[in-house]
Amino acid sequence: MTYDPDNIFAKILRDEIPCIKVYEDDLTLAFMDIMPQAEGHTLVIPKTEAQDLFNLEPDMASALIRTTQKVAKAVKKGLKPKGVMLAQLNGAAAGQSVFHIHFHIIPRQGGIDLTLHARDQADMSKIQEIAEKIKAALE
Ligand code: AMP
């Protein structure tokens, strides 16, 4: 499978569709998942064309995990969940639905607290409110 430049995250990177941004640097972008599996569900993507981990340059993989750690720390500090789960899916069989590599940062409260993957769009003003808490906690 080759990279499709019209995937939704590529469109976000080109500013063709909006996102609720929490962090950006030269190599990466972090924004809120609009169909969150838990309150505070955040996504981190590299600014390079790679559909999955197997097509990502090592230097970009480093940048991606550095930003993921930075934003996960802000999620932990800003939202104070009991735990923080990271997920990264490769291939449709693994559940990947957007073919531009990304890490999921999902706050967890314990037990069965996740809603279904990429299913229901949440209230955007509520997501915006949560994003502000994450941004305020960024170091
Ligand atoms: P995956 O299934 O691992 O490829 O994850 C894709 C994620 O992108 C899902 O959690 C979706 O809820 C999320 N998603 C899809 N479209 C958008 C969008 N326009 N803005 C933010 N998140 C999105």
Listing DSSP states for 54-110 in one string gives: GGS-HHHHHHHHHHHHHHHHHHHHHH--SEEEEE---SGGGT--SSS--EEEEEE-S
Whether 102 sits among the annotated catalytic residues: the reply is yes
Q: What is the CATH number of domain 8-138?
A: 3.30.428.10
Asked if residue 52 has its Cβ within 6 Å of ligand 1, the reply is no
Asked if residue 118 has its Cβ within 6 Å of ligand 1, the reply is yes
Instruction: Return the percentage of the chain with pLDDT > 90, whole number.
Output: 88
Instruction: Return the percentage of the chain with pLDDT > 70, whole number.
Output: 99
Hey, where are the domains in the chain?
8-138
Q: Write out pLDDT tens, residues 82-137.
A: 999 999 999 999 999 999 999 999 999 988 777 777 677 778 999 999 999 999 99
